[in-house]
């Protein structure tokens, strides 16, 4: 290929590979193109070059050994419009380092990801059970209940409070996050290549809606910031917002209005990143877990039996039980693998020309980290399309995690919420399985295992029939 850029599928003038991708599942196309062009191939979105990296060895080398030059985030039209402050997820290298370090410090001080944090998760799991209980015996879409409970775990740490399941503003915020996660993937492609499409009447690509949501988020975070600022006690930080404000004040050399505005914009961006990333991903994984349990009732029964043997019906699961519930833990790992909720990670980029595996990755091209190519690699995971928790157990029945299992990515940009996500998945899922049996609404038509790919990979709308375990007829 010209200039040593990786090979890739044939392109159409002006549009690149957009015609092949629109309306298709890119993950399936990428599997095919990997076979044709190898672990490093090119895709063009209009004139924009995307380098797609596949396979464990290639991705590990790119993100760890070459992480210093391949961990930037790309700029694009829509992101630049959405962004106000820096945040972490889409921040570019210079401010990212500072923001990520600060966020990780604050979260660690608050016990995020440590066992002390478990109480927040366990309390929310009890509420989850009550809410499901109220709807047992009916056909139920679990999405809203799960999302609200997962979001409230993050709200506890970020804002020191939880929100009611009937709070209209909160529910709207969560619905907006979910809609954006779904739309951003598709909208991103076209609007970034052809920004003039934003002027087409009728909000053809849903760009306006994304920008309107941004205003709603800003108002929500603004309200929380103001209530924190006006009641801040520097010697007694209550939550992430307090800690961040105190740290920024102590670090600050200037006290100009401009700097204050900057701090507030960065705080809102950071809180938005943690709230968005922490809510959508974990609740979607739980939803996939329930969907797979419908398709694999034997797995559901094995999890239930294990919980019964170790905990019985009354004592709720805690993190200390994790090592005694290896089958349940393996079921969670298998869900993270097969569902691959963030299958293309978050796009990476380069700030200069980089030579990688004999190819040139030109400055400012986007790099897609195809985690799906690892999690569904048949050389690593036999029969990757089959849901089989046993693959994560060794011969003595203990959990065995291959080094290639990286649903949270790896290297400098590795997910900062992975410990907390694993904790939430364990407590929420085992508590639900202990109390309820999940059944298909129509046993002859199981809900689809195909998902929708946006920023995350989410199941299509489905309902489930829930029966209290004490009512299950043996």
- Give the residue numbers of the binding site for heme: 415
Q: Does 59 bind ligand HEM (CB under 6 A)?
A: no
Taking the least distance from each CB to ligand HEM, the nearer of 275 and 437 is 275
Taking the least distance from each CB to ligand HEM, the nearer of 152 and 282 is 282
Q: DSSP character for 57?
A: H
- H helix or E strand, kind and range, residue 140: strand 139-140
Between the CA of residue 204 and those of 77, 193, 385, 429, what are the distances in Å?
16, 15, 35, 39
Q: Does 149 bind ligand HEM (CB under 6 A)?
A: no
Q: Minimum CB separation from ligand HEM for residue 59, in Å?
A: 9
Between the CA of residue 219 and those of 140, 155, 173, 275, 314, what are the distances in Å?
31, 16, 10, 15, 42
Q: Does 89 bind ligand HEM (CB under 6 A)?
A: yes
Distance CA 12, CA 423 (A): 46
Q: Does 413 bind ligand HEM (CB under 6 A)?
A: yes
Distance CA 23, CA 47 (A): 20
Distance CA 198, CA 192 (A): 10
Taking the least distance from each CB to ligand HEM, the nearer of 88 and 140 is 88
Number of residues that bind ligand HEM (CB under 6 A): 26
Taking the least distance from each CB to ligand HEM, the nearer of 192 and 281 is 281
Distance CA 421, CA 139 (A): 27
Comparing CA positions, the residue from 5, 24, 13, 6 lying closest to residue 189 is 24
Q: Does 197 bind ligand HEM (CB under 6 A)?
A: no
Q: Minimum CB separation from ligand HEM for residue 364, in Å?
A: 17
Q: Minimum CB separation from ligand HEM for residue 201, in Å?
A: 36
Taking the least distance from each CB to ligand HEM, the nearer of 49 and 107 is 107
For residues 220 and 173, the answer to whether their CB atoms sit within 8 Å is yes
Annotated binding site: 415
For residues 147 and 279, the answer to whether their CB atoms sit within 8 Å is yes
Comparing CA positions, the residue from 113, 86, 99, 44 lying closest to residue 319 is 113
For residues 325 and 430, the answer to whether their CB atoms sit within 8 Å is yes
Q: Minimum CB separation from ligand HEM for residue 336, in Å?
A: 6
Contacts 24+ apart (CB under 8 A), 317-324: 317/426, 317/427, 317/430, 317/431, 317/434, 318/118, 318/122, 318/427, 319/115, 319/118, 319/423, 319/426, 319/427, 321/430, 322/426
Classified as helix, coil or strand, 246 is: helix
Q: Minimum CB separation from ligand HEM for residue 60, in Å?
A: 12
Q: Does 417 bind ligand HEM (CB under 6 A)?
A: yes
Q: Minimum CB separation from ligand HEM for residue 463, in Å?
A: 23
Q: Minimum CB separation from ligand HEM for residue 408, in Å?
A: 5
Taking the least distance from each CB to ligand HEM, the nearer of 190 and 274 is 274
Residue 52 neighbours by CB under 8 Å, 6+ apart: 30, 33, 34, 40, 41, 42, 43, 367, 368, 370
Q: Which stretch binds ligand HEM (CB under 6 A): 47-55, 193-201, 293-301, 404-412?
A: 404-412
Q: Minimum CB separation from ligand HEM for residue 11, in Å?
A: 26
Q: Does 415 bind ligand HEM (CB under 6 A)?
A: yes
The footprint of ligand HEM on residues 315-354 (CB under 6 A) is 341-342, 345-346
Distance CA 244, CA 237 (A): 9
Q: Does 16 bind ligand HEM (CB under 6 A)?
A: no
Of the CA atoms within 13 Å of residue 133, those in its CB half-sphere come to: 10
Comparing CA positions, the residue from 102, 101, 104 lying closest to residue 114 is 104
Taking the least distance from each CB to ligand HEM, the nearer of 72 and 242 is 72
Task: Classify burial at 375, counting beta carbons within 10 Å of its beta carbon; exposed 0-12, middle 13-18, buried 19 or more.
Answer: buried
Q: Does 76 bind ligand HEM (CB under 6 A)?
A: no
The footprint of ligand HEM on residues 249-288 (CB under 6 A) is 273-274, 277-278, 281-282, 285
Q: Name the residue whose CB lies closest to ligand HEM.
A: 417
Q: Minimum CB separation from ligand HEM for residue 284, in Å?
A: 8
Distance CA 265, CA 258 (A): 11
Backbone φ and ψ of 285, nearest 5°: -65, -40
Q: Does 369 bind ligand HEM (CB under 6 A)?
A: yes
Taking the least distance from each CB to ligand HEM, the nearer of 318 and 366 is 366
Taking the least distance from each CB to ligand HEM, the nearer of 16 and 372 is 372
Q: Which stretch binds ligand HEM (CB under 6 A): 42-50, 185-193, 249-257, 407-415?
A: 407-415
Q: Minimum CB separation from ligand HEM for residue 146, in Å?
A: 12
Q: Does 421 bind ligand HEM (CB under 6 A)?
A: yes
Binding site for ligand HEM (CB under 6 A): 88-89, 100, 154, 273-274, 277-278, 281-282, 285, 341-342, 345-346, 369, 407-409, 413-417, 420-421
């Amino acid at each position: 290929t010209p200039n040593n850029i990786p090979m890739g599928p044939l392109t159409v003038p002006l549009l690149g590979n957009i015609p092949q991708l629109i309306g298709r599942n890119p993950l399936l196309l990428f599997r095919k193109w990997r076979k044709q062009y190898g672990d490093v191939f090119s895709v063009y979105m209009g004139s924009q070059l995307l380098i797609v990296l596949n396979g464990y060895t290639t991705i590990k080398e790119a993100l760890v050994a070459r992480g210093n030059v391949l961990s930037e985030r790309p700029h694009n039209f829509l992101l630049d419009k959405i962004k106000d402050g820096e945040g972490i997820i889409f921040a570019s290298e210079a401010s990212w380092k500072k923001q990520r370090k600060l966020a990780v410090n604050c979260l660690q001080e608050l016990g995020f990801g440590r066992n002390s944090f478990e109480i927040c998760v366990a309390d929310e799991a009890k509420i989850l059970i009550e809410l499901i209980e109220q709807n047992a015996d009916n056909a139920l879409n679990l999405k809203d209940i799960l999302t609200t409970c997962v979001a409230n775990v993050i709200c506890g740490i970020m804002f020191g409070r939880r929100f009611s399941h009937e709070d209209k503003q909160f529910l709207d915020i969560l619905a907006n996050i979910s809609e954006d996660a779904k739309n951003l993937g598709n909208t991103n492609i076209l609007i970034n290549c052809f920004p003039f499409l934003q002027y087409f009447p009728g909000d053809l690509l849903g760009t306006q809606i994304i920008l309107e949501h941004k205003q709603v988020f800003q108002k929500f975070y603004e309200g929380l910031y103001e209530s924190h600022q006006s009641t801040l006690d520097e010697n007694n930080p209550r939550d992430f917002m307090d800690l961040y404000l105190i740290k920024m004040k102590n670090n600050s050399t200037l006290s100009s209005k401009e700097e204050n505005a900057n701090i507030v914009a960065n705080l809102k961006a950071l809180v938005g990143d943690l709230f968005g990333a922490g809510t959508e991903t974990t609740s979607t994984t739980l939803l996939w877990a329930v969907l797979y349990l419908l398709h694999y009732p034997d797995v559901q029964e094995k999890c239930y039996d294990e919980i019964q043997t170790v905990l019985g019906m009354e004592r709720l699961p805690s993190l200390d039980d994790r090592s005694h519930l290896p089958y349940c833990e393996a079921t969670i790992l298998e869900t993270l693998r097969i569902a691959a909720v963030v299958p293309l990670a978050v796009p990476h980029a380069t700030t200069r020309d980089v030579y990688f595996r004999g190819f040139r990755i030109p400055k400012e091209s986007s790099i897609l980290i195809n985690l799906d190519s690892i999690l569904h690699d048949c050389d690593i995971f036999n029969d990757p399309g089959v849901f089989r928790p046993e693959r994560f157990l060794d011969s003595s029945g203990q959990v065995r995690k291959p080094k290639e299992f990286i649903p949270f990515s790896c290297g400098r940009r590795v997910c900062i919420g992975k410990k907390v996500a694993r904790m939430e998945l364990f407590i929420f899922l085992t508590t639900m399985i202990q109390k309820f049996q999940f059944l298909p609404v129509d046993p002859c038509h199981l809900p689809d295992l195909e998902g929708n790919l946006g920023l995350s990979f989410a199941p299509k709308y489905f309902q489930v029939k829930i029966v209290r375990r004490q009512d299950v007829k043996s």
